[in-house]
Structure 1
Amino acid sequence: MLIAVVLVLIVAGSVAFHLYSPWWWTPIASNWDYIDNTLVITFWITGAVFAAVVLFTAYCVWKFRHRPGHKAEFDPENKRLEWWLTAVTAVGVAAMLVPGLFVWKQFVTVPGNARELEVFGQQWNWAYRLPGADGVLGTADAEWVSGENPLGVNPHDRFGKDDLIIEGGEVYLPVDQPVKLLLRSIDVLHNFYVPEFRAKMDMVPGMVTYIWFTPTRTGNFEALCAEYCGTAHPFMRGFVTVVEAAEYQEWLREQLTFEDYARTASEPATRLAER
């Protein structure tokens, strides 16, 4: 009886924790409320199954407890019950998977008017690159990474000379405009994650992965690394600041192009060589 009571209390406690817990999602700030809805569907299905299984176990513990004069009956097969369990399980799994497939299709289908932004991760900081006046990102590769070229932009690519280089971990985005993030890592696995945007993706060395979203409200949102990447992993943080279009254009005008950045970075070495 004590075991049955404990099992019932586990279910009751789990439901109460869900209803009264102070921990919940951060307010959403992008178009990906689909992801929240999919998680809620999954949660209710798995939660209902959890409650049903545990309560059924509690019932069996109580119903078939040892009592003097009662003899256990061995009945290893029940075709009707097996068919019911198979059907219910199939429906439950399908109900969890199908919404995710639709959301995934939206997740990987980038709108044609999305702006491009390259996110560059390395132990343990973020940097960014935006297209310049020509609207095209130049090519980049790890072989070009150096002190004067920390993002590895191809110095021989004419499209890269006017690319905007943003260091310091903070980048601005315009509100209500879709953006495609091109994700690169120079050393180990990273994962660019802004909780309010509900979108994240692994950054794999040697590959360019991507995600897209549309910021839906202005504000300053923390960017985290969601993949363990070494001893300073908890401190690999930055910020994404979402602003109105006019403020975004003003911010763009303040950023250095790759050509200016490389020249500025090489000036101290040049002066030292002249001495």
Structure 2
Amino acid sequence: MAIVLALVLVAVGSVLFHLVSPWWWTPIASNWGYIDDTLIVTFWITGAVFVAVVLFMAYCVFRFRHKPGQRAHYEPENKRLEWWLTVVTGVGVAAMLAPGLVVWNQFVTVPEDATDVEIVGQQWQWSYRLPGPDGRLGKSDTRNITPENPLGLSKDDPNAQDDVVIEGAELRLPLGKPVKALLRSIDVLHDFYVPEFRAKMDLVPGQISYFWLTPTRTGTFEVLCAELCGVGHPQMRGTVVVETEVAYQNWLKEQSQRTFARLNAPEK
């Protein structure tokens, strides 16, 4: 009976903890409420299965407890039960995967009016590149990286000349405007993660990954690296500032000294 009570308390306590504890994530600051909805669906499905399994175990322990004169019945297989378990498990897994696949498709289907922003990870800081007046980012290559060209932009690409380079500083985004984040690493694996955006993605050396989001409220939000990238991993942090369109455009004009052409201009 002690084991039965313990199992019941585990099931009931888990449900109560989920309902009354303040473990819920931070308020959302982008259009990706779909991520929260998908997690909640997963919690409900896995939670229901967890409670059902634990309570079934408690029932079995109570119903088939040892009694004098009784012997256990040996049944090596039950094809009917196995088919039921296979079908129910398959339906449950599909129910968890389907919403995620739908959301993933939305996550990587970028609106045509989204603005490109490059996010570059390196041990152990975040750097960013914004398009200039031409609205286009120039080409880049890790073989071009030098102390004067930390992001490896191509000096021969005219689209790169007006790109705004922000090394180890904060990233600013306009409120209510879709942004396509182009993610690139110049050394090891990193992961760009802003909890309030519900958006994260790995930065893999040698390739460019991406996602998109639309900031929905102003504020300053912390950038974290969610992939172990060396001894300085805990200190690989940054900030994203979401502000109104007017404030963002004013800030962008102030970055004229940070264009790639200005940073690589010969000293006089």
Tell me the TM-score normalized by structure 1. 0.93
Q: CA deviation at 1:15?
A: 1.2
Distance in 2, matches of 1:92 and 1:254, equals 53
Give the aligned partner of residue 149 of structure 1. Answer: 149
Give the aligned partner of residue 260 of structure 1. Answer: 262
Give the aligned partner of residue 6 of structure 1. Answer: 6
> Cα deviation per residue 1:182-234 (whole Å; 9 max; x = unaligned)?
10101100000100111111001111111100111111111110100011111
**What's the % identity of the aligned pairs?**
65
Give the ranges of 4+ consecutive aligned residues of structure 1 lying more than 6 Å apart after TM superposition.
Answer: none
> Contact (CA 8 Å) 1:32, 1:199: kept in 2 or not?
yes
Distance in 1, matches of 2:90 and 2:182, equals 37
> Cα deviation per residue 1:46-100 (whole Å; 9 max; x = unaligned)?
0110111111111111111111122222223334333332222122111111111
Distance in 2, matches of 1:64 and 1:169, equals 65
> Cα deviation per residue 1:117-140 (whole Å; 9 max; x = unaligned)?
000110000010011111111100
What is the letter of the counterpart of residue 86 of structure 2? T
Give the aligned partner of residue 203 of structure 1. Answer: 203
Give the aligned partner of residue 18 of structure 1. Answer: 18
> Contact (CA 8 Å) 1:128, 1:171: kept in 2 or not?
yes
Distance in 1, matches of 2:225 and 2:165, equals 20
Query: What pairs with 1:91-102 in structure 2 (closer than 5 Å)?
Result: 91-102=91-102
> Contact (CA 8 Å) 1:169, 1:237: kept in 2 or not?
no
> Cα deviation per residue 1:134-155 (whole Å; 9 max; x = unaligned)?
1111100111111111111111
What is the letter of the counterpart of residue 52 of structure 1? A
Secondary structure of 1:207's aligned partner: coil
Distance in 1, matches of 2:72 and 2:106, equals 55
Query: What pairs with 1:45-84 in structure 2 (closer than 5 Å)?
Result: 45-84=45-84
Give the aligned partner of residue 106 of structure 1. Answer: 106
> Contact (CA 8 Å) 1:187, 1:205: kept in 2 or not?
yes
Q: What runs of 5+ residues in structure 1 fail to find an aligned partner? A: 271-275
Give the aligned partner of residue 226 of structure 1. Answer: 226
> Contact (CA 8 Å) 1:119, 1:128: kept in 2 or not?
yes
Q: What runs of 5+ residues in structure 2 fail to find an aligned partner? A: none
Secondary structure of 1:73's aligned partner: coil
Secondary structure of 1:254's aligned partner: helix
Q: CA deviation at 1:101?
A: 1.4
Aligned Cα RMSD in Å? 1.3
What is the letter of the counterpart of residue 258 of structure 1? F
Distance in 2, matches of 1:122 and 1:49, equals 42
Distance in 2, matches of 1:194 and 1:171, equals 12
1:41 aligns with 2:41: yes
